[in-house]
Amino acid sequence: MALSKVKGTLERVLDKNLQDLVRGIRNHKENETKYVAECLDEIKNELRQENVAVKAIAVNKLTYLQMLGYDISWAAFNVIEVMSSPKFTFKRIGYLSASQSFHEGTDVLMLTTNMIRKDLGSQNLYDAGVALNGLSCFITADLARDLANDIMTLMTSTKPYLRKKAVLIMYKVFLQFPEALRPAFPRLKEKLEDPDPGVQSAAVNVICELARKNPRNYLALAPLFFKLMTSSTNNWVLIKIIKLFGALTPLEPRLGKKLIEPLTNLIHSTSAMSLLYECINTVIAVLISVSTGIPNHTASIQLCVQKLRILIEDSDQNLKYLGLLAMSKILQTHPKSVQTHKDLILQCLDDKDESIRFRALDLLYGMVSKKNLMEIVKKLMVHMDKAEGTNYRDELLAKIIEICSQSNYQYVTNFEWYVSVLVELTRMEGTRHGRLIAAQMLDVAIRVQAIRPFAVAQMAVLLENAHVLSNNSQRNGICEVLYAAAWLCGEFPDHLTDPKGVLEAMLKPKITLLPGHIQSVYVQNIIKLYANIIKRAEGQNGLAGVREVGEMLQEKLPIFIQSADLEVQERACCMVQLVKYVLKSQDKDGDTAAAIAEELAALFAGDLNPVAPKAQKKVPVPEGLDLDAWINDPPSESSEDEDRPVGSSIFVTKDNNEGSFYHEAAKAKVPDMTPEERTKAKEQRRVDQAHNPNYLKGDVKKSASNTSADGNLGNSVVELDLSIPLRVPGLSSSDQYMKMEQSLRTKKAGKKKRKKRKKGGNDESDEEEDIPQIHQVSTVEEVPEGAEAMSDKEEDGGDERYKKLDIDLDEPLRPGEILPVRTHRIVPDHKLPEPEEEPKEKKKHKKKEKESKKDKKKSRDSRKEEREKRKRKKQSIPGEADEPSLLKEDHEEIAGDNTPLSSPRDKDMPSGGATATNSTDKMNDYEFWMSSTDAQSPSHSEPQGKPTTEVKVTPVQDITSGDEAKVDTTAHSKKKKKEKKERREKKEKKSKKSKLKAGDYEEAGGITTPSQEVVDPSQLETPVTAKPMSSYRLLAENASIKMMYETRVSPQRGDQLILSVVFTNLTPHLVNNLEFNVMDTLNTKLSRGMGQASHDAVQVPFVLPAGLSNEGQFAFSVDSLVQPTKLRGTLTYMVKMAEGSTHEKVDFRLTFNCSSFMSALPCKSSEFASLLSSGDLTEKSTMKCTPLENSFDVSLLRICFYNHFKVVEKVEGSASLYGRSIQGHHLCLLVKYNNGEITVDGKSAEGALLSNVLADIKTVLTSDVL
Amino acid sequence: MIKAILVFNNHGKPRLSRFYQYYPEDMQQQIVRETFHLVSKRDDNVCNFLEGGTLIGGSDFKIIYRHYATLYFVFCVDSSESELGILDLIQVFVETLDKCFENVCELDLIFHVDKVHYILAELVMGGMVLETNMTEIITRIEEQNKLEKSEKAKLDGTPVLIQTYETLDLSILNELREKIAKM
C-alpha cells in the first residue's frame, strides 16, 4: 500500500507533458499501441487529480492522441472541467480538445450552455474568442437556440476581433437554428458595411454561404454587393462576392448585364490571378445565363477564351488546370469559340499531370464535330499507345467510345471507320473495358444496317483470332468482344463469306477457357450458323458438305457439356440433341432433309430492334390494375418462413442478384407458389430470356456475376507470349478511312473557296460544312404501347439542413420573431411560432422590434403591405409557384413585386400596366436598380422608354419546355393563345380568299406579330387584288410530317425572334414525342428551358393525331441582326403504328433573313421627314429590279407583307415606306415605279442591314415561290 | 466552406488534423490515409488540385494541397472557395507558422501541435476563413501568448510550497491540510 503510494508519487514527478508524450511515442515505434495504452492509463490517473493544471496537461495529451486515432470521448466530462477553468491557458486547452472531439452526439454538451455564455460575456477578449472558436465546431441545435442572443450581442461588440468571430459563427447558428436567420439578418446585413475589413469579410463570407444554398432570397442584396464589388480592394472579399454573383446571375439576367462591364474591367486591370480567374468564371456564368442582350456579347466570350488560353499556356500547372476547367464551362454554350483552341487542348493530353490530361479529355468530348472526329480519335489512339498506366489508357479508351457514340453517333460519318476503330481498340492490352467495346460493336451493327456486312466480316476475323484475345480472361477484359463477335456472326450469318471457317473457329477447344457467358453465346450462335450453313447448302443442293459440318458439331460440341457453367452446359446439351436430330433426319429421304433446314432456320427467325433504355419504366399501368393489391390474401409471416425449404434459398438469393424489381415483387406478391413452382417458373423465364435477343444486355450482367469463378480458371492457362504481333491479318485499319476522308475534304474545300469568293464574304460562315453520313443510324427504338412521353426528372436530393434556411428575408419581422432570451423555460422544448402561423399574426403587427422599423417605414399603406405580404409568402413556398390563381392578381401588384424575377408566368403580363407609383417600396428600389442598367447601356436603347417593360425578363417561350407548357395551361394564357390562334386562322383564310379588308383586327395587347400588322392594308388607298399571301414557308417535309414556319418579332424585345412552326401529320398514324432542335450559332440560339444544355432538344408539347396540324412556337435569342442567319436543325418524332412505333427524324435548314427582324410600325410623315433630315441615317443603298407582278400596288403590298414595312406616304408611282428593326434601326425606303421597273432607295444608320433588307425585297418582288 | 485541414509528412504521419465536420476517429484516420495516398503519388510539378477522395465530400469537393519540404498541407474545400485563394491561404498559414516558430520545421509541428491549432484557429473558424491578414493574425497570437505567459508566471509564483512538496505524496499533504482546516 505504502509502496504503491510512493510509486504513484514518483510517477507524478515524472509526469509527462505533451512533448514528453510525443517523444515517448517516437521512441516506442515498434510497440506504439502498448506505450499509448500505458500513457492512457497515466492520463486517466491524472484526470482524477484535483489540480486543474494536471488535468489540463492530460487533456492536452488526449487531444494529441485523438489525432492519432484514439477515441477520447470518454474524457468529455474532464474536457469540460478544463474548459471551465478561469485561466485562459487551460480554457484554451479545454476548448481545443472539445472542438476536436465533441460533436452533436456528445451528451455532456448540454452542461456547457451556461459556461459558454459566461465565456462569451467575459471581460477578457480572448476568453470569448476561444469560446466562439470552440463553439463553431461543436454547436448543436440547443446551444444555437440558447446562445443566439448572446452571439447577436457580440456582433455589436466594440472589438472588431469579437465582431468578426461572432458574425462568422452566425452561419453555424443558422444551420442549427434556422429561426434565428430572420431576426439576425438585418444586423448581419449591417456588418457588410462594417468599418473593419475583417468583419466585413466575415459578413460577406456568411452571406455567400447562405446565398449559395438559397440564392433567390438574397437577390435583393445584389445592389449592396455590387457597391462592395466596385469599392472593395480586398481580393479575398472580391472573390467571394464575384463567386456569389456567379450564383445569382442565373436567377436574374439583368444582373448579368450589369456585371459584365465591371467584371471586364477587373479582368483587364487585376494582377491577381485568383481574382482574374474568378472574374472569368462569373463572366462565363453570366454569358451562359443571359445568352443575348449583353453589349459586346461575343467580345466578352472572346476575352474569356483569350485569357483562359493564357492561363492554359502558363507554365504553372495550377493555372493550366483551372483554365481547362473554365474552358469546359464555355464549351457548353459556345463550342465554336473553344474549338479554335483545339491545338492547345490536344497539347495538354501530353501533359505529365494526370488531372490536366483528364480535363483536356473532357474538353475534347465537347469539341468534336463531323469534320474533326477522325482526327481527334486518331490522336487519342496514338496517345493510348504511348500512355503509361492502364488506368489512363482505359480512360482514353472509354473516352474514345464516348466521343464517337455521343448523341446517336451524330459525328460519325463513316461507320466502316468506326468499326475499324473498335476492332483496333481490342488490341489494347489489359483493358477493363472489353464489355464496353463489345456493347458498341453490337449497337453499331444492329442499328446501322448498312454496316452489317463489313462488321460481320471483321467479327469473323476476330473469331478466327480468338486466341489473341482470349489469353486475357480477366473479368470484363478484352475477351468480352468475343461475345459480340460470336453473336453478330450468328445473328447475321448471311453476310459471312465463309461460315464454315467461322464455325470451325468457334469450336476450337481453347474456347472453353473463356468466361461462361461468352461460351453460352458461342454455343447458341454455333447452331445459328449451322442453320445458316444448311440453308445455304440447300440452295446449292450440296448436302454432302453439310453432313460433314454436322458431324464435326457432333464431335466437338460435347466439350461444352463439360463446362462448369450451368448455362453453357444446359445449352450445349440441347444443341447436341438438336444436331443429332438434324443429322438423323438428313439420313432420311430428301424431303425431310429439306424440311429440317427450314425448321431449323425458323428457330432463329425474326429481326430485333433495340429496346429504348427506359421502355420498361414507361409501360403504362393498365386501367383497373392495382399493383399493390394482393392477388391472394397474404399468409401469416411465420407460415411462409416455414414452407420455404432450405435448399431453395440458393435460387432465391441468386435471383436477387439480378436486381430485378419484378422478381422481388413476384416473390412478395405470389406467396402461394410453392418453391418448386417458383424455381421452375424462373428457370423457364431464364430460358425464355436466353432465347430472346432483346435480353442480351441483362444476360451479360447476370452471367458475369454468376460466373466470376470462371475467371480463375483462365488464370491457369499458360500466358501467350506477347511478342507475337497483335496485328491480325485481314483487319482493316482505321487510318485508311481517315486518309480517304481527308482527300475527299480537300476536294470539297477547293469548291468551297470558290463559292465563298463569289459570295463576297457576306455570309457569316458559322455554319458547319455539311459532311454527309455514309451510313444511316437507325434510331428505331421499341417503346411499349401507350408509353407516356414523360421526361424523367431527377429528384433533387438537397440537404435538408439548407432547405430549412430557405427563408424570405425581405418580409418585415413579426412581433413574435425575436431571438430567445434567457428565461426560465417552462416547456423544455419551447419552439417559436412556426412560419405557418404567420398570417394570423399579421394584423397584430406593431412596432415592437427595432430591426423591423426600417422596413416598416417603407410600407405605410397597411392594406398594400398586407397584400404584398401575402404575395411574398406565396413566393416563398415554391410548391405554390405554379398556382394559376396568381395570374388573377392585378397588374400593378405584379409590377411592384419581384414576382417577375422568379416565374415564367410573367410573360403573360401586359407590360404596359406597370407604373412607377410604388417606387418607394423596397423591392422596387431593387427593381429600379436592376432596370437602370438597360436605360444606361447605350447599345440597348429601348425605343418606348418604359423601364417597366424590362420586367419581362424571362424570354417569351410559348412552347419550349415542359415547365413552360404547364404555364400555358393556365386559364389566362390559354384563352389568349386561343384568341391568337383564331385570329391567325382567320387571317389565313382571308388571305387565301384575297379579300383584304381593312380594320378587321385589333392589335393584340402585348405581342405584335408582323403577319397581323401587314395584313392591315388600310393605308393603301385603293383596294387591290393580289395573289394570296402567306408568310408561312415550307421548312421541311417528308413522308410523314410537314413543317411550315413563320417568324415573328415583338418590337419590345430587341433580342428575340419567335419561330412559329405548323406541324402537319401526313401519316394515318399518331405522331408523338416531337422534339425540335436547332444547332445554335454564336449569334442565334434557341431558347431552351431552364437548366437545359445547349444541345438539348425542345419538346413539342403536343401529339399529332393522324392528318392534323398544330402550331408550336419557339423563341430564339438573337444577338446581331444585320446579317441573315442560317441554322440547321432536326425534328425527331415517333410514329405510332399498330405494329409498333418508329423513331424518325427530319432535318431542316432555317433562314432568318434580315427582314424577319423588321417590324412595321406606323410613322407619321412628319416624323418620317425629320428622321430623314436628322442626318442620322448615313448609309444609303439602291436596288433595282423588275417585279413579277405588273402592278405597283401589288408590289408595294408584297414589300409590306413580306418585308414588314409600313407605307408612310404614297403618291402615284412612288411611295415612302418605313420599318424598324427590333433593335431600333430605322429603315426608310423610297419605292419608285417606272415602266414595270421598281427602284428602291433606302436609308439607314446600319449599312449592312439596309443592303440585306434590300436584297430580301428584291427576292420578294422577283421570285414567285417563297 | 472548408471541410478539413490536414497536415501530414512524406510518410503519411499526421501532424495536424482539423475536421470541421464530425467524423468518428477511425473514419478520420481513414480519410488521412486516403488523402495521403492520393497526394503522395503526385509529382511536385503537377497541379495542386485533386478531385475525388471518396470519403470526404463528393463531387462538389476538391482537395487543394501544397507540399513544403517534408510536409503536406491539405485543405479539403467545397466549390464556394476559390481554388487559387485557398492556395494563397495555405501560404499564409505556413508563413505565419514560420514567423511564430522562427523557421518552422516538421519538429515544431510534431511537438507543438497545440500551438499550431491555436494559430490555425486565427485563420479559419468552423470551416470558414476568419482572417487572411498575416500581421493581424500574428498580433492576435502574440497577445494570447503573452496572456498565457502572465498566467504561467502567476502559477509558478504561488504554488512554490506545493512544488517543493511535490516530491512527497501529495495526498498526505492534502489530508494534513484538511486536518488543519478542521482544527
At A1159-1213, the pLDDT tens digits run 877 778 888 888 888 777 888 888 888 887 778 888 888 888 888 888 888 887 8
Contact criterion met (CB below 8 Å) for A308 and A363: no
Question: Which chain A residue is nearest to residue B42, measuring alpha carbons?
Answer: A353
Separation between Cα atoms, residue A941 and residue A955, nearest integer Å: 18
Question: Which chain B residue is nearest to residue A352, measuring alpha carbons?
Answer: B46
Contact A320 B47 (CB under 8 A): yes
**Contacting B residues, span 119-148, partner chain A, CB-CB under 8 Å:** 121, 125-133, 136, 140, 143-144, 147-148
Show residues of chain B in contact with A21, CB under 8 Å: none
This model of the complex carries an ipTM of 0.87
Cα separations (Å) of B122 from A148, A233, A826, A1107? 22, 22, 39, 74
Q: Does B48 touch chain A (CB under 8 A)?
A: yes
**Residue of A89, A100, A318 with shortest CB distance to B47:** A318
Question: Which chain A residue is nearest to residue B144, measuring alpha carbons?
Answer: A126
Residues of chain A with pLDDT under 50: 1, 8, 10-11, 639-672, 693, 695-729, 752-769, 789-797, 825-862, 865, 869, 871-921, 933-971, 973-974, 990-1026
Separation between Cα atoms, residue A251 and residue A475, nearest integer Å: 48
Separation between Cα atoms, residue A577 and residue A554, nearest integer Å: 9
Smallest CA–CA distance, residue B101 to chain A, in Å, is 15
Contact B46 A317 (CB under 8 A): yes
pLDDT, residue A942, reads: 40
Smallest CA–CA distance, residue A70 to chain B, in Å, is 7
For residue A324, give the DSSP letter: H
pLDDT, residue A964, reads: 41
Smallest CA–CA distance, residue B126 to chain A, in Å, is 5
pLDDT, residue B118, reads: 94
pLDDT, residue A712, reads: 39
Smallest CA–CA distance, residue A551 to chain B, in Å, is 57
Contact criterion met (CB below 8 Å) for A1097 and A1077: yes
Contact B84 A277 (CB under 8 A): yes
Contact A169 B125 (CB under 8 A): yes
Number of A to B CB contacts under 8 A, please give it: 162
Contact A318 B84 (CB under 8 A): yes
Q: Which three cell numbers stand for residue A98?
A: 472539445
Radius of gyration, CA atoms only, chain B: 22
Q: Does B118 touch chain A (CB under 8 A)?
A: yes
Q: How far apart are the first and last CA of chain B?
A: 61
pLDDT band at B174 (very low <50, low <70, confident <90, very high): low
Residue A322: count other Cβ atoms within 10 Å of its Cβ: 27
Which residues 6+ apart lie within 8 Å of A559 measured at CB? A509, A512
Q: Which three cell numbers stand for residue A1233?
A: 415605279
Question: Which chain B residue is nearest to residue A235, measuring alpha carbons?
Answer: B85
Show residues of chain B in contact with A92, CB under 8 Å: 118, 144, 148
Contact A171 B152 (CB under 8 A): no
Contact A198 B18 (CB under 8 A): no
Show residues of chain A in contact with B24, CB under 8 Å: 71
A480-484 contact pairs (CB < 8 A, 24+): A480/A434, A480/A435, A480/A437, A480/A438, A480/A518, A481/A426, A481/A434, A481/A437, A481/A438, A481/A441, A482/A514, A482/A518, A482/A522, A483/A438, A483/A517, A483/A518, A483/A521, A483/A700, A484/A437, A484/A438, A484/A439, A484/A441, A484/A442, A484/A459
**Residue of B82, B133, B143 with shortest CB distance to A239:** B82
Averaged pLDDT for residues B150-173: 53
Contact B148 A88 (CB under 8 A): yes
Q: Does B166 touch chain A (CB under 8 A)?
A: yes
Contact criterion met (CB below 8 Å) for A113 and A142: yes
- Cα torsion angle, A1027, A1033, A1039, A1040, sign: negative
**Residue of A126, A132, A206 with shortest CB distance to B144:** A126
Smallest CA–CA distance, residue A69 to chain B, in Å, is 5
Separation between Cα atoms, residue A378 and residue A394, nearest integer Å: 16
Contact A69 B155 (CB under 8 A): no
Which residues 6+ apart lie within 8 Å of A302 measured at CB? A337
Separation between Cα atoms, residue A792 and residue A614, nearest integer Å: 9
Smallest CA–CA distance, residue B183 to chain A, in Å, is 22
Contact B170 A9 (CB under 8 A): yes
State the best of B130, B136, B169, B172 to mutate against chain A, taking most chain A CBs within 10 Å.
B130
Q: Does B168 touch chain A (CB under 8 A)?
A: yes
Separation between Cα atoms, residue A1094 and residue A1097, nearest integer Å: 8
pLDDT, residue A1062, reads: 85
Q: DSSP assignment of A256-283, as one string?
A: HHHHHHHHHHHHHH---HHHHHHHHHHH
**pLDDT tens column, A10-36:** 445 557 788 888 888 888 888 888 999
pLDDT, residue A1230, reads: 86
Question: Which chain B residue is nearest to residue A102, measuring alpha carbons?
Answer: B22
pLDDT, residue B19, reads: 93
Question: Which chain B residue is nearest to residue A88, measuring alpha carbons?
Answer: B148
- Give, for A1070, the enclosing helix (H) or strand (E): strand A1070-1078
Q: Residue A1112 carries which side chain, given as an amino acid letter?
A: G
**Residue of A139, A236, A352 with shortest CB distance to B46:** A352
Smallest CA–CA distance, residue B166 to chain A, in Å, is 7
Smallest CA–CA distance, residue A1010 to chain B, in Å, is 47
**Residue of B132, B155, B166 with shortest CB distance to A236:** B132
Is the per-residue pLDDT at B180 higher than 60?
Answer: no
Contact A243 B82 (CB under 8 A): yes
Smallest CA–CA distance, residue A13 to chain B, in Å, is 7
Contact B49 A353 (CB under 8 A): no
What phi and psi values does residue A1227 have, to the nearest 5 degrees?
-130, 120
pLDDT, residue A715, reads: 37
Show residues of chain B in contact with A171, CB under 8 Å: 126, 128
Question: Which chain A residue is nearest to residue B19, measuring alpha carbons?
Answer: A100
Q: What are the strands of the beta sheet with B49-51, ordered from one edge?
A: B14-19, B2-9, B71-77, B62-68, B49-51
Show residues of chain A in contact with B84, CB under 8 Å: 273-274, 277, 318, 322
- The answer for A1215, left when phi > 0, alpha when psi is -120 to 50, beta otherwise, is beta
Q: Does B176 touch chain A (CB under 8 A)?
A: no
Contact B131 A198 (CB under 8 A): yes
Contact A161 B140 (CB under 8 A): yes
Show residues of chain B in contact with A797, CB under 8 Å: none
Burial (CB < 10 A; 0-12, 13-18, 19+), residue A1203, is buried
Contact A198 B152 (CB under 8 A): no
Q: Which three cell numbers stand for residue A772?
A: 454527309
